[in-house]
């Protein structure tokens, strides 16, 4: 289409060039910035195929964050891998998007780690946003890990899987003495019980997506792997210090949580309870009954329709 927008570019954010992909059917659409999870699970390489309906209604911006995906380079200063710097990077990106696209505000969506970043942004800079959607919303990582551990222990005991019980007993109930060795074990078993994805193989989705992506070359896939490990290594410990339940009890932006019914990676029940207590001008939940932690992939059509309904109050039957 003549007015179609499709732009992959490098933007200087916080002194480092970082990659963004902007796509939409025409340039006058409102902006929707999607903050990926992880940290380090950069999504330019695999998410666009699940955003076709969104691109009819928004300029969809996928951003490979500092130190991840297309934004990973050797020598990223380790001291810049902190939450405050990511908030400031996001602020610079939003101001850049507003200026170049001639917008007053944007719509914001964050997944998993990106949902923690998203809540911090709308709390600190509410004037920049029309609305916010948290997907697999993180509120308190320690509480989430405790909830997950108890769930895994109960499931393993009920199904008499002694090998899982032995693994869980070995790492002990959170707080973990060593999160870097313990969390991979809990993630292995939550994946076994379908609490990351309900019906699909996420590693396959990501790898096949990047291999077929017009935006990723072979060397970029290697960068993605390195960046994922680098980001977790330097961000994980600080993420455990964030407690949105204590620190953010009121926001001035409409918020909605999109939650997978089977999500135990960032347990949906904890997010639901947090939404009950937080004060906002508008708030709501959309449940995805056939999803765990990745409803934007597992139920992509419904997910996109609900984003459009939530943000634009537009009936999806028009699509």
Residue 91 makes CB contacts below 8 A (sequence gap 6+) with 121, 125, 128
Query: Is 293 labeled as catalytic in the residue annotation?
Result: yes
Whole-angstrom distance, CA of residue 293 vs CA of residue 113: 12
Query: Is 68 labeled as catalytic in the residue annotation?
Result: no
Query: Is 291 labeled as catalytic in the residue annotation?
Result: no
Q: In what order do the strands lie in the sheet with 31-35?
A: 5-13, 16-24, 59-64, 31-35, 106-111, 129-135, 255-260, 283-288
Measured in degrees and rounded to the nearest 5, phi and psi for residue 81 equal -85, 75
Whole-angstrom distance, CA of residue 63 vs CA of residue 97: 12
Tell me which residue of 228, 212, 239 sits closest to 71, measured CA to CA.
228
- Write down the catalytic residue from 89, 262, 263, 268: 263
Beta 31-35 vs 129-135: how paired, if at all? unpaired
CB 136 within 8 A of CB 111: yes
Q: What is the DSSP string of 294-312?
A: -HHHHTHHHHHHHHHHHHH
- Write down the catalytic residue from 19, 71, 112, 186: 112
Which residues carry out catalysis? 112, 263, 293
């Amino acid at each position: 289409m003549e007015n179609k927008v499709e732009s992959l570019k490098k933007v200087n954010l916080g002194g480092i060039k970082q990659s963004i992909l902007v796509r939409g059917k025409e340039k006058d659409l409102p902006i929707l910035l999607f903050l990926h999870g992880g940290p380090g699970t950069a999504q330019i390489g695999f998410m666009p195929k699940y955003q076709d309906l969104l691109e009819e209604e928004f300029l969809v911006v996928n951003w490979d964050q500092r130190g991840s995906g297309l934004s990973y380079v050797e020598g990223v200063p380790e001291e810049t891998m902190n939450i405050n710097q990511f908030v400031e990077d996001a602020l610079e990106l939003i101001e850049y998007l507003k200026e170049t696209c001639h917008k007053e505000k944007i719509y914001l969506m964050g997944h998993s780690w990106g949902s923690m970043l998203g809540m911090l942004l709308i709390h600190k800079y509410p004037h920049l946003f029309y609305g916010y959607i948290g997907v697999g919303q993180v509120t308190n990582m320690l509480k989430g890990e405790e909830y997950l551990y108890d769930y895994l222990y109960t499931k393993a005991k009920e199904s008499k899987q002694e090998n899982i019980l032995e693994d869980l007993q070995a790492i002990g109930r959170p707080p973990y003495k060593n999160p870097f060795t313990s969390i991979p074990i809990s993630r292995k078993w939550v994946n076994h019980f379908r609490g990351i994805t309900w019906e699909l193989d996420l590693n396959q989705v990501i790898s096949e997506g990047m291999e077929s992506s017009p935006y990723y070359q072979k060397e970029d896939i290697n960068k993605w792997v390195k960046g994922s490990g680098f980001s977790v290594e330097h961000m994980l410990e600080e993420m455990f210090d964030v407690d949105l339940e204590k620190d953010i009890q009121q926001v001035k932006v409409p918020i909605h949580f999109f939650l997978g019914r089977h999500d135990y990676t960032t347990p949906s029940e904890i997010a639901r309870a947090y939404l009950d207590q937080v004060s906002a001008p508008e708030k709501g939940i959309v449940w995805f009954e056939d999803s765990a932690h990745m409803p934007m992939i597992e139920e992509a059509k419904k997910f996109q329709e609900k984003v459009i309904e939530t943000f634009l109050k537009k009936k999806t039957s028009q699509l």
